Amino acid sequence: MTGSGRQKKYCHREPRVSLDLTRNAPGCVSPLLKRIFENRDISDPGELEYPLSRLHDPAGLKHGAEAVEILHVSLQEKHNILIIGDYDADGATATALGLLCLRSFGAGKVDYLVPNRFEYGYGLSEKIAEVAIRRSPDLVITVDNGISSIAGVDILRAAGVRVIITDHHLPGPELPRADVILNPNQPGCPFPSKALSGVGVMFYLLVLFRAKLNAAGWFQNRQVPVPNLAEYLDLVALGTVADLVPLDYNNRILVARGLARIRAGKCRPGMMALLETSGRNFRHLTSRDLGFAVAPRLNAAGRMEDISTGIECLVSESIDVAREFSRTLETINRNRQKVQSTMQADAMRIVAAVLEDRSGKRAAAAATNLGFCLVHPDWHQGITGLVASRIREKTDEPTIVFAASGRGRLSGSARSVGGLHIRDLLENIASENPGLIEKFGGHAMAAGLTIHGDDFDSFEQAFHQHVNRFFNAADDFATVYLDGCLAEEEITLENAEDIRMAAPWGQGFPAPLFEGTFDVLDSRIVGEQHLRLALQSVPMNREFEAIAFRVIDPGEEAPALKRIHAVYELDVNEFRGKRRLQLIISHYSPAH
C-alpha cells in the first residue's frame, strides 16, 4: 500500500503514581508488573484484585427498582416474556443470559427474538415490534438495544405490551416511552461506570431481580436453591470483551471472574465448544482469546446469516448439542473470512489510491481530506464493520464503510480513533444537515448509520469536513504509548505468563507494549496476511519467535528485512501442549 495514513508517534508512558506494594498486595508482583501497573495509574494494590464484592452497587442504576417490580409481577402472573436482542456477540450473550437466568428464576414463558440484519435492520424497529406482537408477549425486554427505538416502543405500548429497555448505547435528545429504561448513560443515572456493555447491564438487572425474589421468599417457597449468577459470568466476560467497551475497574472485575470460571472448566457447554473449535486451551484463556478467537465465530452468524445459531449454542445444556452448533458457526465463519478477504482487498486498493493522491497533493501544498468513507455496490452489509476496522488499523484514521441495504439505502459501519467520538461526530453531521442521515447510533469508537444512496457524496463531504476539524496540524500523529524497553533478562516466558494472567487487558486498559531492536534471521508469510519472524536480539544475540498480524496485503511478498526496530507484546505461543515465548509485533520499521 502506498503511504500508510497518519504517522504514528511512539511515546513512553510516564507514571504519575507509585504502587505501594507494602499494603496488602495480592500474591507476588514482579518489578516489571509494578512498572506496568504504575504506567496505568494504579496506585491502590486493591485494584490488582478482582472480587465480585467490589463491583459497583446495582442500586445505583436509575429505575432499577421499577424494572424489578415489573419483572416480579410478570413472574407471579406467569406472563409471556420476550427478549429482543442484537445480532452481535454482546447482544447474543445478553440474550442468552436473560433466557438462562429468567428460566432459573422460574419464568416458564420466556423466549427471544433477534432481528435479521438484512430484513429488519438494527434493534427494536417498527417492523420487529410488529413481529413481536404476533408472539403475544405481555412484557418485552430489550438487551443491547432500544435506547433509540422510539417508534418501535410506541407500537408495543399501543398494543398493551409493557417494555423494559436495557441498553448501554448513548441516548439521543429524545428517549423512548418505555415503562422503564436501564442504561448507565441515560440522563440522571448515578451509576459510577458508564462503560458497561449490553450484557453487563442485563447482568446487573438480574442481580437486582434475584435480590428482590430472595427477599420475598420466592426461592424458599418454591423449595429451590437461590441461583448463583456467578455461574453465568463466562457469558458476561465474552460480551464485554467482544463489544470493545473500556475495561474500567468494574468491567475488569466482570471479565476477570468470567475468565477464572472458564479456566476452571466451570463455563457454559457452548463456551467450551467454541473454545474447542477455535483451538484454545480453556486452562490458559485470556481476554485476547475471547476477542480474537471466540467472538468472531459468534459474530459471524449475525454478520452472514442469523445470530440465533450463536444464541442456541450459548444456551445449550448438552456439550454434544453445543458442539453441533459450534461446528455450524465455524462453517459460517470460514465463509465470512472469504467474503471479508475479497471486500478488504477491494477497499485497500481504494485506500491506496487515495493515499497516493494525497502524497501528490501534499507535495503541491494542497488541502487533504482525512478519514475514509467508502462504498461499493457488491459489498456485503454484514462485513462493513470488519473492513472499516482493518482500514482504521492500517491508517489510524476514522473510517466508514457502506454497503447497499435495500430500497435505495446504504448501511454503514464506522470505526474511530482515540479522541474522536464517532457517534458525536455523526450527531453533529445530522444536526447540521437535517435529513442527511436517516438513523444512527453507537459508541465513542464504533457506530452504525443509514443514509440514502443518492446522499453518499453529500455525506462524504460532511464527514471529511468534520474529521478535518478534529485533526489540526499539531495533531497529525496517532500517538501510541509504550511501556519502555525491556532488558534482555526480562524477555522471558515467565514474564509473558505473568503479564497474560495479571489482568484482563483490552480497550481502555491496553496490554503492555515494549520496543527493541532485532536482527531478522528469517521471515515468511503465514495465513496469507501474517508475517512469521525469527529474531535475534541486539547486541546479546538471543533468538526469539515473533509474529506480526495482518501486515501483508493480498498479493504481497514477505518483505526483505535485515534489522528492525519493533514495537511488541510479550506473549505465549501454545502448540501441541508446549508453551513458548512469542513476541507479537504491532509495528516495525527498518533499523540501522
Classify residue 550: in a domain, yes or no.
yes
User: Do 434 and 488 fall within a single domain?
Assistant: no
User: Do 399 and 503 fall within a single domain?
Assistant: no
Lookup: cell for 92: 447474543
Burial per residue of 60-85, b for 16 or more beta-carbon CB atoms within 10 angstroms, e otherwise: ebbbbeebbebbbebbeeebbbbbbb
Write down the pLDDT at residue 369.
87
Q: Which of 288, 287, 307 is nearest to 297 (CA)?
A: 307
- Strands 399-406 and 439-442 turn out to be unpaired
User: Do 227 and 251 fall within a single domain?
Assistant: yes
User: Do 495 and 568 fall within a single domain?
Assistant: yes
Classify residue 361: in a domain, yes or no.
no
**CB 4 within 8 Å of CB 394:** yes
Classify residue 235: in a domain, yes or no.
yes
> What is the CATH classification number for the domain harbouring 401?
3.10.310.30
User: Do 499 and 433 fall within a single domain?
Assistant: no
> What is the CATH classification number for the domain harbouring 294?
3.90.1640.30
User: Do 487 and 456 fall within a single domain?
Assistant: no
Among 308, 332, 356, residue at a domain's last position: 332
Write down the pLDDT at residue 40.
94
Spatial neighbors of 407 by CB under 8 A, at least 6 apart, are none
**How long is the chain?**
592
Indicate the number of domains in the chain: 3
Lookup: cell for 559: 518483505
Helices 319-363, 384-395: axis angle to 10 degrees equals 50
pTM of the full predicted structure? 0.92
Classify residue 575: in a domain, yes or no.
yes
Classify residue 522: in a domain, yes or no.
yes
User: Do 505 and 466 fall within a single domain?
Assistant: no
Helices (H), 138-181: 150-158
User: Do 64 and 124 fall within a single domain?
Assistant: yes
Rounded CA-CA distance 399/393 in Å is 10
Classify residue 321: in a domain, yes or no.
yes
User: Do 88 and 147 fall within a single domain?
Assistant: yes
Among 406, 438, 470, residue at a domain's last position: 470
Among 417, 441, 470, residue at a domain's last position: 470
Write down the pLDDT at residue 367.
61
Q: Which domain holds residue 318?
A: 53-332
> How many C-alpha atoms does 272 have within 13 Å on its Cβ side?
17
> What is the CATH classification number for the domain harbouring 558?
2.40.50.460
Classify residue 510: in a domain, yes or no.
yes
Write down the pLDDT at residue 504.
96
Q: What residues are paired with 533 via a beta bridge? A: 523, 546
Q: Which of 109, 104, 116 is nearest to 141 (CA)?
A: 109
| Residue where the block lists cell 486498493 | 349
Write down the pLDDT at residue 364.
53
Classify residue 271: in a domain, yes or no.
yes
**CB 139 within 8 Å of CB 81:** yes
- Strands 578-590 and 563-575 turn out to be antiparallel
Per-residue confidence in pLDDT tens, the chain, 592 aa = 445 667 778 899 888 888 887 666 566 688 999 999 999 999 998 899 999 999 999 999 999 999 999 999 999 999 999 999 999 999 999 999 999 999 999 998 999 999 888 888 788 999 999 999 999 999 999 999 999 999 999 999 999 999 999 999 989 889 999 999 999 999 999 999 999 999 999 999 999 999 999 999 999 999 999 999 999 999 999 999 999 899 999 999 999 999 999 999 999 999 999 999 999 999 999 999 999 999 999 999 999 988 999 999 999 999 999 999 999 999 999 999 999 999 999 999 999 999 988 877 655 545 678 999 999 999 999 999 999 999 999 899 999 999 999 889 999 999 999 889 999 999 999 999 999 999 898 888 889 999 999 999 999 999 999 999 888 644 556 788 999 999 989 999 999 999 999 999 999 999 999 999 999 999 999 988 899 999 999 877 899 999 999 888 777 888 889 999 999 999 999 888 899 999 999 999 998 7
User: Do 491 and 463 fall within a single domain?
Assistant: no
User: Do 299 and 232 fall within a single domain?
Assistant: yes
Handedness of CA 466, 472, 476, 478 (dihedral sign): negative
**CB 251 within 8 Å of CB 197:** yes
User: Do 142 and 275 fall within a single domain?
Assistant: yes
Lookup: cell for 299: 459474530
Query: Rounded to 5 degrees, what angle do the CA atoms 294, 298, 299 make?
Result: 115
